[in-house]
Amino acid sequence: MEFVVKSGAAEKQKTACLIVGVQKTSQLPAMQAMDTLSNGYLTGLIKRGDITFKPGHSLLLQHVPEALSERLLMVATGEDDKPLTVSQYQKLVGHVISTLKSANVKDAVIAIDDFKVKGQELSWIARQFVEVIEHSLYRFDDYKSDKPKKSADVLKKITLLTDRKTVNAVKEAVAQGQAIGKGRNVARTLGNLPGNICHPTYLADEAKALAKTHAKLTTKVLNEKQMHDLGMHSLLSVSAGSAQEAKLIMMEFKNGKRGAKPLVLLGKGVTFDTGGISLKPGAGMDEMKFDMCGAASIFGVMNAIVEMDLPLNVIGMVAAAENMPGSKATRPGDIVKSMSGKTIEILNTDAEGRLVLCDALTYAERYKPEAVIDVATLTGACVIALGHHTTGVLSNNDELAEELLSASNQAADKAWQLPMGEEYQEQLDSNFADMANIGGRPGGTITAACFLSRYAESYPWAHLDIAGTAWASGKNKGASGRPVPMLVQYLLNKLK
């Protein structure tokens, strides 16, 4: 999709479809201009009751008298002068896009200044517009024999029309929206790919390919032999039963000030989680191909910041492994030594995410990071606690947690902090090793974070549990690409 930003009068636009906001009584500027041009044709329709004013409802008109545009799409923005809520606006944009698609419109112009959202500036409104469009045009049909034709009649270009004074701000917002939207779609595709294709080596190859797109980005990959020599026996215990070799992937983006401490983003990349010897039940197990969505989101973020050329030092790390049963697989009760030297009694091989992440967290120390944020589909308990709408945030540093929560709010990518008091730590006590890898059912998301916190003592650290938000099940099964928007916003905020 091509996005253009320009200033100019709505009534002068030659386009397949002009999109304007419409209200009940006091009309917005673009609508007013079109009404004047058409000699009151539009207000006449309103008087006749041809349009309803519920937010997002619309009326598509052909050949409006005197209009230069072939069509006019009037979209209700709700009550006069009352801003839309964020979710009303997201639905409105989604609706606009499906209307344009079903009308086979190739290009459109929207009077973006007409759309007001509660608590948000024009830049946000423009950026969100682009993000929602990129999101709703996404398809994952690489493995379908009958693909819908990528024919000439699909929507190709949307122009955002704004005031001369705001053109530059809107241009910047649109560029950000495209980078975030595309990054999110990268994450969705990696998430949607099945485990037989998207295995740890596939992810490592993706990281190497990404490094070719920017001079300041380099990729390093550790194989199992190298991890063994570093003492990463916790991570290696997860891939022990798999024919796929585990990989620890580092995408190093050094585009900031020389010597400035980097931010490390670490993703859980369990490319398929059978549970191992603590085998999961069969029903719905296919969805465990999504157990690398944390890793996918790191790829999404790296894509976005490379595209925006953000002047920051960011290390994207991915701990990739496949969790399979087999004669070489880890047994419940096995004890392994992590790279940090701490020993772990693996009471449940299905609590594998923390086992791959802990060694990666230890490895992250060598970057002397400003902060480390890990992203993981870590616990079913998080789905029970927060459902499918909200990502869990846990941290050893209140300032970092605050930064993430406000980025989440700005990016309309919901998150909520859970407590992490030390009183939870004793649930991880083991009779035979320094700790167990599970802490029982109560507070399962918290005890998982407590386990990770033991490996993140030397830097500010936060953990995002995306078990409930990384993908949807059922008819709309598919990866969501979250929390790419929140993380990119967090990084954008670092530039202020």
444 binds, among Zn ion, ligand BES, Mn ion, none (CB under 5 to 8 A by kind): ligand BES
Residue nearest to Mn ion (CB): 350
Q: Decide whether 38 or 274 has the Cβ nearer to Zn ion.
A: 274
Contact 358, 251 (CB under 8 A): no
DSSP designation for 117: B
Q: Decide whether 155 or 336 has the Cβ nearer to Mn ion.
A: 336
**366: Cα within 13 Å, side-chain hemisphere:** 10
Q: Decide whether 129 or 471 has the Cβ nearer to Zn ion.
A: 471
CA distance 302 to 296: 10
Decide if residue 390 touches ligand BES (CB under 6 A). no
Name which position in 123, 348, 397, 493 contacts ligand BES (CB under 6 A). 348
380 binds, among ligand BES, Zn ion, Mn ion, none (CB under 5 to 8 A by kind): ligand BES
Contact 36, 189 (CB under 8 A): no
Residues 6+ apart with CB under 8 A from 94: 132, 136
Name which position in 224, 252, 345, 350 contacts Mn ion (CB under 5 A). 350
Sheet-wide strand order for 343-346:
334-337, 343-346, 435-436
Q: Decide whether 345 or 352 has the Cβ nearer to Mn ion.
A: 352
Q: How many residues make up the chain in this entry?
A: 496
* Nearest alpha carbon to residue 159 among 106, 121, 84: 106
Decide if residue 403 touches Mn ion (CB under 5 A). no
Q: Which residues pair with 478 in a beta bridge?
A: 472
**300: Cα within 13 Å, side-chain hemisphere:** 33
Closest separation between CB of residue 15 and ligand BES, Å? 44
Q: Decide whether 243 or 384 has the Cβ nearer to ligand BES.
A: 384
Name which position in 316, 353, 369, 481 contacts Zn ion (CB under 5 A). 353
* Nearest alpha carbon to residue 301 among 467, 463, 487, 469: 487
Q: Which region, judged by CB under 5 A, interacts with Mn ion, from 198-206, 267-275, 391-399, 472-480?
A: 267-275
The per-residue DSSP string of 345-374 comes to EES-TT--HHHHHHHHHHHHGGG--SEEEE
- Tokens representing 182? 């595309």
- Tokens representing 218? 């380099």
Decide if residue 291 touches Zn ion (CB under 5 A). yes
Site string for ligand BES, 364-383 (x = CB under 6 A): -------------xxxxx-x
Which amino acid type is present at position 299? F
Q: Which region, judged by CB under 5 A, interacts with Zn ion, from 55-63, 272-280, 381-389, 445-453?
A: 272-280
Bridging pattern class, strands 371-376 and 391-395: unpaired
Decide if residue 467 touches ligand BES (CB under 6 A). yes
Decide if residue 273 touches Mn ion (CB under 5 A). yes
CA distance 230 to 346: 20
Closest separation between CB of residue 18 and ligand BES, Å? 44
CA distance 313 to 215: 13
Q: Return the residues of window 281-310 that contact ligand BES according to CB under 6 A.
A: 291
Q: Return the residues of window 401-460 that contact ligand BES according to CB under 6 A.
A: 438, 444
Q: Return the residues of window 28-87 that contact ligand BES according to CB under 6 A.
A: none
Decide if residue 224 touches Mn ion (CB under 5 A). no
Decide if residue 374 touches Zn ion (CB under 5 A). no
Residue nearest to Zn ion (CB): 273
Closest separation between CB of residue 386 and ligand BES, Å? 12
Q: Which region, judged by CB under 6 A, interacts with ligand BES, from 122-130, 137-145, 294-302, 349-357?
A: 349-357
Q: Which residues are catalytic?
A: 280, 354
- Tokens representing 336? 């392994």
Closest separation between CB of residue 270 and ligand BES, Å? 6
Contact 310, 495 (CB under 8 A): yes
Decide if residue 256 touches Zn ion (CB under 5 A). no
Residues 6+ apart with CB under 8 A from 28: 20, 21, 22, 77, 111, 114
Q: Decide whether 112 or 351 has the Cβ nearer to ligand BES.
A: 351
The per-residue DSSP string of 169-196 comes to HHHHHHHHHHHHHHHHHHHHHHHHS-TT
CA distance 292 to 318: 9
Number of chain positions touching Zn ion (CB under 5 A): 4
Closest separation between CB of residue 324 and ligand BES, Å? 13
Decide if residue 231 touches ligand BES (CB under 6 A). no
438 binds, among Mn ion, ligand BES, Zn ion, none (CB under 5 to 8 A by kind): ligand BES
Task: Please give the angle made by the CA atoms of 430, 435 and 438, to the nearest 5 degrees.
Answer: 85
What are the residues binding Mn ion (CB under 5 A)? Answer: 273, 350, 352
What are the residues binding Zn ion (CB under 5 A)? Answer: 270, 273, 291, 353
What are the residues binding ligand BES (CB under 6 A)? Answer: 273, 291, 348, 350-353, 377-381, 383, 438, 444, 467
